[in-house]
A and B are shown apart, each in its own frame.
Chain A
C-alpha cells in the first residue's frame, strides 16, 4: 500500500505542476497580445537576449562548424566522400546544431538570469509591490520576456548559421586545402529553404520555452536565497530538456518522410 500511495502522490504532484504551468502559460500568452504592452521592458529584454548573447552564441557556432568539418573529413575520407563535407556542415548547422546549441547556450545565459531576477523579486516582495501599484506582474515581467525570447533567438540562430558555416569554410579551405569557390558552391548546392526555415521555427519555440521556464520557476520560487538558487537550476535544466524533446518533435513534423 505504501508503494501505491507514494506513486499516487507523485502523480498528483506531477498533475498539479502541469496544470499550474498550463495556467501560467495561458495567462502569460494572453498578456502578450492584450494591451497595454510595455515597449521599454520588451526592448530591454530584446537587447539582453539578442545583443548580449551574440559573443557566446557566435563562439559556439564557430567552433561547432570547425569541428564538424574536421570530423567529417576524417570520417568521410575513409570512403572517399570528402566532397560532401560542405553539404554536411551546412545541413547540420542550419537544421540541428545552430538552433539546439544556440538554444542551450541561451538557456544557460538567459533562462538562469530570468529565474534569478524574477525569483529575487518574488522573495523580496517586489512582485507584490507591482500588484499594489496596479501593474499586472504577468504583463510587466513575463510577457516582455516571452516576446523577446520568441523573436530574438531566431535572429541569433541566423547569425549562428552564418558563423557556423563560415567556421566549416575556414577549416575546409585553410586546413583541409579545399578550393574556396567550390566549397562555397557545395554549400549552396543542396541547401533548401526548408532546412533554414525549420531551424528558425525551432529557434522561436526554444526561445519561448527558455523565457517561459525562466519566468515560471522564478515566479514560483519561495524561501529566500536557497529557493532562488533552486529556481535558477530548475529553469536551466527544464529548458534544456524541453529544447531537446521539442527538437525531436519539430524535426519529426518537418522531415518525417513516412
Chain B
C-alpha cells in the first residue's frame, strides 16, 4: 500500500469549552480530489487550517507524505508549505498589492524569483484562469467577487503546488460563475496533477470537483465514499445533507420563541 499524501489520525481541537474537531480520521491519496462536505460550524475550516499548521491540534497526528507535521518548527513549516496552495473563501488577496503581485507573491517571497520573471508567470497564470493581462495592473479592490476568486485561484496554483486546498470556492458567487470556478478547479488540478481537498456545502460543486466525498459532522468524519455513490450512501445524515432537508437526524439548533 502506498503512503497517502495526507493522513489525519484522531485529530482533536477545541476552542474554550467547544470541541470543534472530535477525532478526525481521514486519508487523501496522491492525485485524488477529495471534497469534504458538512454544515456550517462542523469543523471543516479548522481541519484545513490544522493541516496547514495555521492552527495546532490538541492531539492526534497529521502526516503529509508520511511525515508527521504537527510538531514542526517554523522554518521546516515554511518549507513544507511550499507544497501547498490554498484558495481562501474570501479570496484573501493582499489589497496593498496589485493583482499580478498577488499572484506572484509566493514566487517572489517564497521562492525568491526575480520580479520580472515572476510577473511573466503571473500573467500566464492569470490567463489560465481566464483573466487578461490588463487585469494584472489593477488592485484587488477594483475586481468583482468572481474575478477575485479567480485571482485567488491563480495565486494558489502559481507556485505549482503538490496539494491545493479550496475553502468554499463557490460561496457567494452566482450559479454561472460558480460553475466557471468549478471547471477551472478541475482543469487546474488536472493540469498540475495535484492532490486537492475542497471543503464546501455546495452539492453541485462537490459533484463536479470530487473523486471522493467525505462528510463531516460534529467534528468527525461520518461517511466517505466515491462521488458517484453520494446519492445512495445508505447514511441518513448524508442523505439529509445532499437533499437539503430540514427534517432528519441532523437537528439545527433553533431557539424556540
Contacts and interface: CB of A to CB of B under 8 A. Distances in A.
A132 B86 contact: yes
Interface stretch (B105-113, B200-208, B227-235, B236-244): B105-113
A132 B94 contact: no
A20 B237 CA distance: 41
A129 B94 CA distance: 9
Given A133-B105, A134-B106, A128 B78 contact: no
A204 to B, nearest CB: 26
A128 B105 contact: no
Interface residues of B, number: 28
A125 interface: yes
Interface string A123-137: 011101111111110
B223 interface: no
B86 A129 contact: yes
A136 B106 contact: no
B109 A128 contact: no
B61 to A, nearest CB: 21
Among A121, A124, A132, A135, find the residue whose CB has the most chain B CB atoms closer than 10 A. A132
Interface of B: 49, 52-54, 74, 78-79, 81-82, 84-86, 88-90, 92-96, 105-106, 109-112, 155, 159
Given A124-B92, A132-B86, A133-B81, 7 more contacts: A126-B95, A128-B88, A131-B52, A131-B81, A133-B159, A134-B81, A134-B111
16 contacts: A124-B90, A124-B92, A125-B88, A125-B90, A126-B95, A128-B52, A128-B88, A129-B93, A131-B53, A131-B54, A132-B85, A133-B159, A134-B79, A134-B82, A135-B78, A135-B109
